[in-house]
């Protein structure tokens, strides 16, 4: 497999997310989340930011999810875990930036030429802004 192993598929929770940090070609660090998806390959990877506002979807304890959608903790916009598309709330009409991965032999690999795997977990920096979401968790 060409790529860097991120985690085992079993490490990605059925509901929630697996958080890791990657670096782009300009040495900027990005948080990325792995989430379960019902479509092949069964896991998808998204940049860990709401498209509406600079808000982390996973603040270190897993992204909030409901019915196969990732919920922004700030305003409650919901993103499809398989496509990254949002059709409601402040982020309606946008799609989460994807990160190319491959799943093989029970492992998830980073295969995106735009990113280099750095480590499991986030960049750090606290819990992020408070929520003004209309959706309860």
Pairing of strands 107-110, 101-104: antiparallel
- Supply the DSSP symbol for 68: T
Domain boundaries, the chain: 4-120
For residues 108 and 87, what is the distance between their CA atoms, to the nearest angstrom? 28
Q: What is the per-residue pLDDT for 1?
A: 72
Q: What is the per-residue pLDDT for 129?
A: 43
Q: What is the per-residue pLDDT for 131?
A: 45
Q: What is the per-residue pLDDT for 134?
A: 47
Q: What is the per-residue pLDDT for 137?
A: 46
Q: Which fold has domain 4-120?
A: Rieske Iron-sulfur Protein (2.102.10)
Q: Is the dihedral of CA 8, 110, 55, 88 positive or negative?
A: negative
pLDDT tens, N- to C-terminus, the chain (137 residues): 789 999 999 999 999 999 999 999 999 999 999 999 999 999 999 999 999 988 999 999 999 999 999 999 999 999 999 999 999 999 999 999 999 999 999 999 999 999 999 999 999 654 444 444 445 44
- Supply the DSSP symbol for 136: -
129: left (phi over 0), alpha (psi -120 to 50) or beta: beta
Q: What is the per-residue pLDDT for 56?
A: 96
């Amino acid at each position: 497999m060409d790529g860097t192993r991120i985690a085992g598929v079993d490490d990605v929770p059925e509901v929630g997310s697996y958080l890791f940090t990657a670096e782009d070609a300009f040495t900027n660090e990005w948080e990325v989340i792995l989430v379960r998806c019902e479509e092949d390959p069964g896991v998808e990877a998204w940049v860990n930011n709401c498209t509406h506002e600079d808000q982390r979807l996973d603040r270190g304890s897993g992204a909030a999810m409901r019915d196969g959608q990732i919920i922004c903790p700030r305003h409650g916009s919901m993103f499809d875990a398989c496509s990254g598309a949002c059709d409601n709330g402040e982020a309606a009409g946008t799609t989460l930036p994807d990160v190319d991965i491959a799943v093989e032999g029970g492992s998830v690999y980073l295969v995106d030429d735009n990113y280099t795997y750095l480590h499991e977990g986030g960049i750090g920096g606290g819990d992020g802004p408070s929520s003004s979401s209309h959706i309860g968790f």
